[in-house]
Amino acid sequence: MLCQDVHQFGQRLVRRRLLEPREGFERPKAGHLNTLDLVALGVGSTLGAGVYILAGEVAVYEAGPATVICFFAAGVSTLLSGLCYAELVAWVPRPGSAYLYSYVTVGELCAFIIGWNLILSFVMATACEARAWSYTFDSLIGNHISQALQEMFSLNVPYFLATYVDFFAFVLVLLLTGLLVLGVHESALVSKVFTSLNLLVLSFIILSGFIKGDLHNWKLTNQDYSLNTLNTSGYSDISSLGPLGSGGFVPFGFEGILHGAATCFYAFVGFDVIATTGGEVPNPHRSIPLGIVISLSICFLACFGVSAALTLMVPYYQIQLESPLPQAFLHVGWGPARYAVAVGALCALTSSLLCTMFPMPRLTYAMAEDGLLFRGLARIYTRTGTPILAIILAGSLTGVMTLLFELSDLVDLVSTAMLLAYSLVTFSVLVLRYQPDQNLSNNEATEDEIDISLLEASRVEPGPEARSSNILKSLWRPSNTIPTVKSGQIVYWCAFLLVLLLTILSLILAQWPSQVFSGDPVLTAVAVLLLLLITGVTVIIWRQPQSPTSVYFRVPALPVLPLVSIFVNVYLMVQMDTGTWVLFGIWMGIGFAIYFGYGIRHSLENSEPQPPASTLQT
Ligand SMILES: NC(=[NH2+])NCCC[C@H](N)C(=O)O
């Protein structure tokens, strides 16, 4: 009885959504797009505060000149996730977000976690972009806004809240919320103009780095540091400077690079817009992966080039956190150029802000309409055709975050949420490729599947010994050349086990890196054992038959590529500090309470049909 209940409960967590078209609040048709449009869209959504503000923060506190390596690591990890994302999109013949894709392919709980993390990242990223917009605009007009706000609304809670309440950024968020309520959509033309301007300015910054940069800034020593201290303040005061670390190219060691890479992941968030819009191009199998690879490469080159230019122009400990690039131009004596840089930054931040804020109500609406979030959130206000409650709630949450938190605290939270979401996307692809052919528009078992299960059921039950040798045999040499229910289940559990093993390995490597590599007998033995287990389980997955269904894009080198991607993502996640994990834990706690307290019972996939929420119009 208990077993049956547990089984039923488990079944609910992995039930999949049907892909019948649901009426309601969908993304507007993007018209006829080509690969270039996708690239412009991807770059416009991805380049923002990461390259203009975060590069400075990472250089000062985490990696110094090695920030370029951080961007490289974060870029590679995003590219791997991007390829998996492209395949997941290819499996589902409808535009949507990672939430929908995982719901129709893998199951409800996985989809809820992805959706809930995407909401967190949308809210936090919007707050980040708004804060960055405010910093940049403020630096353009001589820091008057921050000075006034600092005097009037200073928050004296160091390490936890921002130094002052940023009303300017708050008003920006309110303005955007208002536009969303009115049903204003993204404009491809505006985004293209802003992206072109942005790329022009970034090229100028990179070029300036080559011309005005000084290679000595990548080899700084204690002597330069004390000299700089005297130069900047006239007496020996290091409070105006960031930490020196050990100087040189990698002043904060390998650990600093890892922390920096985790933070830099934020700079590459946003490319998913290509995958979700890509269904509308004539040649999606070429355009989507190509669009993802090209736009991530452009973003990588931009981040790499800008961080190199920045650290070459200014000693890393002298970089100003709020507006690093304009200050760098002042530092090298090209003062007027800082206005051009600030305008480029404002263009980038605006297009990335729009791309972050606008999809948010669509996602909340989709989850509420599926019954996983409160159905009131899916109510459409007839006059404007928008889900007002969802927009106002998301807008208010974003507003509060913008007011109270510092950009750097928000960034790590976005990176954590996206790293988890992308890891689940990757997991979905890994599992999906080995499942029996599934008709996604109709969750009934296919004929093959029924044939196989009937065949299995009609077989005479073998004894326990024969059964275990059968199982062992099917792990190494599966009897079918196409996936069956059994081989699908083997992969599901193996992939689950692998995620667990990879997480333990990442935790060990993150907690005791020097002990593992210097040959501590216990830790090294554990790490080697884990590696052996991981290899063994990977081989089992590799031996299972893959689905012959032709989809327009397939990730190469399965199962290795998704596993490397999951490992890199988890390894970056475990680099986050305790504060980030506490905030993330609170968010996930609220999410699980909503899902297990409400969503699981109200999901439209429950047997009792419920009226679609969009008919409950206000
Ligand atoms: N879906 C999004 N556009 N999210 C926010 C993107 C943030 C962007 N990568 C930046 O560096 O500022």
Helix 560-573 / helix 485-511 crossing angle, nearest 10 deg: 40
Inter-residue contact 561 to 430 (CB < 8 Å): no
Residue 386 three-state SS: strand
> 67-91 and 98-105 are packed helices; what angle lies between their axes, rounded to 10 degrees?
50
CA separation, residue 74 to residues 307, 509, 560 (Å): 13, 18, 19
User: What local confidence, expressed as pLDDT, does residue 443 receive?
Assistant: 43
For residue range 215-260, list pLDDT tens digits in order: 999 988 888 777 776 655 444 455 567 787 787 899 998 889 999 9
Please check the confidence at residue 155 and state whether its pLDDT lies above 50: yes
pLDDT for 24-66, tens place per residue? Answer: 555 555 556 778 888 888 898 899 889 999 999 999 999 999 9
Helix (H) or strand (E) holding 12: helix 2-13
Distance from residue 45's CA to the centre of ligand 1 (Å): 6
Probe residue for ligand 1, chosen from 272, 356, 401 as the CB with the greatest number of ligand atoms within 8 Å: 356
Residue 270: CB within 6 Å of ligand 1?
Answer: yes
Residue 267, ligand 1, Cβ within 6 A: yes
Read off the pLDDT band of 360 (50, 70, 90): confident
What does the pLDDT look like over 125-144, one tens digit per residue? 999 999 899 888 888 887 77
Closest ligand 1 atom to Cα of 125: 5
Q: What is the pLDDT of residue 280?
A: 66
Arithmetic mean of pLDDT, 150-175: 75
| Higher pLDDT among residues 479 and 296, named by residue | 296
Residue 402 alpha carbon to ligand 1 centre in Å: 15
- Asked whether 360 lines ligand 1 (CB < 6 A), one says no
Cβ–ligand 1 distance for 402 under 6 Å, the answer: no
State the Cα–Cα distance between residues 267 and 415, nearest whole angstrom: 9
Give 356 Cα–ligand 1 centroid separation in angstroms. Answer: 7
pLDDT at 563 over 60: yes
pLDDT tens track for 477-518: 677 778 888 888 888 889 999 999 999 999 998 888 778 777
Spacing, Cα 49 to ligand 1 middle (Å): 7
CA–CA distance, 581 with 194 (Å, rounded to integer): 35
Q: What is the reported pLDDT for 610?
A: 45
For residue 291, give Cα distances in angstroms to 200, 284, 557, 562: 20, 10, 20, 20
Q: How many angstroms separate the Cα of 198 from the Cα of each of 39, 270, 413?
A: 14, 16, 26
For ligand 1, what atom is nearest to the CA of residue 46? Answer: 9
CA angle at residue 66 from 62 to 72, to 5 degrees? 105
| Whether residue 71 has its Cβ less than 6 Å from ligand 1 | no
Please give the residue that has the higher pLDDT: either 322 or 128. Answer: 128
Distance of CA 505 to CAs 254, 516, 529, Å? 18, 11, 10
271 ligand 1 Cβ < 6 A: no
> Considering the chain, what is the average pLDDT of its residues?
82
pTM of the predicted model, to two decimals?
0.87
pLDDT of 65 reads 93
- From 271, 300, 352, the mutation candidate for ligand 1 (largest count of ligand atoms within 8 A of CB) is 352
Our mutation pick for probing the ligand 1 site, out of 27, 43, 45, counting the most ligand atoms within 8 A of Cβ, is 45
Higher pLDDT among residues 192 and 207, named by residue: 207
How high is the ipTM of this complex?
0.97
